[in-house]
């Protein structure tokens, strides 16, 4: 790019050198601004990336804690159900009843009694209360809940 001298409209070598140096200074300034903006974007994106990583890490930790709580709760319910099954079997044996007789007294099926004593399935509230009434025991005896 050639520039005009201030006194005349002719192109002089000095004016063209000045224009070239001025253009190169503009390019250098533009490049410096671009580099500054690009590094700012990189810094901001690295901050954003670190925030995103921290957020995802926290979400994973929260999900793992929730899964742990659910798993521990399910295990405690399963253990409680096994304890209930053992208590029903023990009370039935103590009363000298067979599974069929307990089923008749409780007005539930023999299969339900068998499933409850083997901790299979999911007994209804009606089945649990009926068994407690048929065995003439308190519900806390069959299903001890810790406070």
- The pLDDT tens digits for 23-40 are 666 666 766 676 666 666
Task: Specify the CATH class of 13-142 in words.
Answer: mainly alpha
- Cβ atoms of residues 5 and 19 within 8 Å: no
- Residue ranges per structural domain of the chain: 13-142
| Half-sphere exposure of residue 79: CA atoms within 13 angstroms, side-chain side | 9
Q: 78-105: per-residue pLDDT in tens?
A: 888 899 999 999 999 999 999 999 999 9
pTM comes to 0.51
pLDDT band at residue 14, thresholds of 50, 70 and 90?
A: low
| Nearest to 142, CA basis, from 127, 16, 64 | 127
């Amino acid at each position: 790019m050639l520039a005009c001298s201030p006194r005349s409209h002719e192109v002089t070598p000095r004016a063209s050198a000045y224009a070239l140096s001025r253009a190169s200074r503009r390019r250098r300034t533009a490049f410096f601004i671009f580099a500054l903006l690009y590094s700012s974007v990189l810094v901001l994106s690295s901050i954003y990336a670190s925030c995103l990583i921290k957020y995802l890490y926290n979400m994973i930790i929260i999900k793992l804690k929730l899964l742990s709580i659910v798993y521990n709760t399910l295990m405690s319910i399963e253990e409680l159900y096994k304890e209930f099954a053992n208590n029903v079997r023990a009370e039935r044996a103590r009363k000298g009843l067979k599974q069929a007789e307990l089923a008749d007294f409780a007005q539930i099926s023999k299969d339900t009694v068998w499933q409850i004593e083997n901790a299979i399935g999911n007994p209804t509230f009606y089945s649990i209360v009926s068994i407690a009434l048929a065995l003439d025991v308190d519900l806390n005896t069959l299903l001890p809940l810790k406070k």
